[in-house]
Amino acid sequence: MKFFKIIFDFYIQSSLHVAFAIFALLHVTEVSLELTGNRNLECIIFFGTIVGYNFLKYFEAFQKGNYDFKKNHYVIGLTFLSIIAVIFFFLQLKSETQIFFIKIGLLVALYPFLRKFGFWKLFLVSFCVTAITVYAPIFQQVSLSNNEKIILLQRFLIVISLMIPFEILDSQTDNETLKTLPQRFGILKTKWFGILILLPFIVLEFFKEKIEISTFVIAIITALFIVFTTFKRDKYYTSFWLESVPILWWMVLVNT
């Protein structure tokens, strides 16, 4: 049992789970827009998520010299292999797509410095996730259809809502100078904000060419996660269960 817990914790701590979540969001886009999958694009997004997320997660510990290299050598190993994979698949992309990912990479690299503007970090993260899971597969088109524009906006909104439980739980340890949503407005108002964001997410569905039941299912599940977020929740509440929502979304979408 202890062995499985070690494997499971590595799966979470190495950002493999969040990489699968982002990968799932990309596939939600491909299914919704009936796009043909691009293996190079999918792989660079998957491995790039591991690299980027581990950079963001452990940057502060590195900076302060508190990172335990011995304890986390497997995470370092996976990150290093992911960097190699990112370089390989990056070289397979067209130059326009390469430039696009360089821009996103720069935003991710700037995040630790922009994080002091705590109120805006929510929107920055949502923008980056929307860019790589919706805009990346379609940005080379001459113009975007109304359906594509709606999905872009929906993705931006749902990612903000999904981040609300993280914001609430992180407010216990966040520096007060960050002025995050929970610090500015309190836990209850932050929850209401996350739930209200889901309303336009749902309404926009009725303006799409094809209404998808999965949208309503995911909106309800996300709202429930927000409602039941408390400081008593363990680390797996967000790092596993909440981050599984995009994977569930993909599964519901392909089966409805």
Prediction pTM value? 0.92
Nearest Cα residue to 122 out of 62, 55, 190: 190
Over its length of 256 residues, how does the chain's per-residue pLDDT go in tens digits? 788 888 998 899 999 999 999 999 999 999 999 998 889 999 999 999 999 988 877 766 566 556 656 666 788 889 999 999 999 999 999 999 999 999 999 988 887 777 666 667 888 899 999 999 999 999 877 688 999 999 999 999 999 999 999 999 888 877 776 778 888 888 999 999 999 999 999 999 999 989 999 999 999 999 999 999 998 888 899 999 999 999 999 999 998 7
| Location of structure tokens 């990150």 | 79
CA 161 to centroid of chain Cα atoms:
11
Residue 209 phi, psi (nearest 5) = -65, -35
Q: Are 138 and 33 a contacting pair, CB within 8 Å?
A: yes
Can you say whether the dihedral through the CA atoms of 114, 139, 243, 102 is positive or negative? Answer: negative
